[in-house]
Chain A
Amino acid sequence: MSDHNQPQDTLQEVKDIRQMMERSSRFISLSGLSGIAAGIFALIAAAIARYVIFENYYNDYNRRGGFQDREFRDLKVQLMGLAAVVFIAAFVTAFYFTWRKSTKQGVSLWNHTSRRLMWNMLIPLVAGGFFILGMLQYNDWSYVSPACLVFYGLALVNASKYTLTDIRYLGYCEIIIGLINMQWIGYGLYFWALGFGVLHIVYGIVMWWRYERA
């Protein structure tokens, strides 16, 4: 290493430096496959939610011609349960694919880059979570879907400084969809399916194609 007579030595040295700088400042093991999996779960969940809301709840509502407190409460419990299951399923698969990719790359999953990424993503996400829980507490369901999309988009834009920068564009798209949803209240489920389902799948495929296709 002490002589720099060989061109390839110098080139290699610059490559090593660049790799070290990249590796140490950004968490690059997020897998595109986890995006695809999350998107599929979201679409399935949206389909189930649609069935539960329109087939079960509104049919009963129309047949009886009246609104019953208990049924609405049941619906809320069902939807919250569904949301929790999807979230856990998406999280577990994301973790699995990322763990697999990081093992392949030979980097550890829990280091200062992943910690920093997680922390910076969690700030807007947790704030959004409590915000939405607050809306549910006041029985206001209209803005749940746009709020989910906007806060998630902001979390991604914030996270993009600490991982592959491409995720920033996914964040922009989620924010835009959330804001459009704001003007079309009542179609939240479809916007939600577009933002969390379709976009995740598209993003996952693009990322996998660019960085992981071996």
Chain B
Amino acid sequence: MLKNPITGLNKVFDNRIRLGVMSILVVNDEISFNDLKQMLEVTDGNLATHLVSLEENGYIKVHKGFIGRKTNTTYSVTKIGEKAFNDHITALENMIKGMK
């Protein structure tokens, strides 16, 4: 699904922010919205849009919680998301190998 026919790259990860979110989530159990925002250096709205699209693809899970009265939304990667991400990395590696 959604694969570039030539290279096997995943189109969802064409975007730098979506790729960044996935890179962070595969090595962390759970990350809050604010931590993501800080690490990726993006605006709230921009990050939210990309998170929604990743969620719609089934790549990430959203957990809504509270710290006191403030909402604390955290994200984690799904099995499907992890596989898609690994496939994408493999495709990138193959491309680099092919170029040498």
Chain A residues with a Cβ under 8 A of chain B: 1-2, 4, 7, 10-11, 13-14, 16-17, 20-21, 23-25, 108, 111-112
Contacts and interface: CB of A to CB of B under 8 A. Distances in A.
8 contacts: A1-B14, A10-B92, A13-B19, A16-B19, A16-B20, A16-B23, A24-B27, A112-B32
A17 B31 contact: no
A111 B39 contact: yes
A142 to B, nearest CB: 43
Contacts of A23: 39
Given A4-B9, A14-B93, A24 B24 contact: yes
Contacts of B23: 16-17, 20-21, 24
Contacts of A16: 16, 19-20, 23
B31 A11 contact: no
A14 B93 CA distance: 8
A4 B7 contact: yes
B95 A4 contact: yes
Interface string B24-67: 10111001100100110000000000000000000000000000
B24 A20 contact: yes
Given A24-B28, A24-B35, 5 more contacts: A13-B92, A16-B23, A21-B27, A108-B38, A112-B31
A11 B92 CA distance: 8
B2 interface: no
B96 interface: yes
Contacts of B26: 21
Contact of A20 (B20, B35, B99): B20
B99 A24 contact: no
Interface of B: 7, 9, 14-16, 19-20, 23-24, 26-28, 31-32, 35, 38-39, 89, 92-93, 95-96, 99
Contact of B15 (A1, A11, A14, A25): A1
B24 A21 contact: yes
A193 to B, nearest CB: 39
A10 B13 CA distance: 12
B79 to A, nearest CB: 18
A17 to B, nearest CB: 5
A160 to B, nearest CB: 16
A25 B35 contact: no
Contacts of A1: 14-16
Nearest to B94: A10
Contacts of B95: 4, 10
A1 B16 CA distance: 8
A25 B20 CA distance: 13
Contact of B35 (A2, A4, A10, A111): A111
Nearest to B26: A21
The 8 closest A-B pairs by CB, nearest first: A20-B23, A24-B24, A25-B27, A7-B99, A17-B23, A21-B27, A112-B35, A21-B23
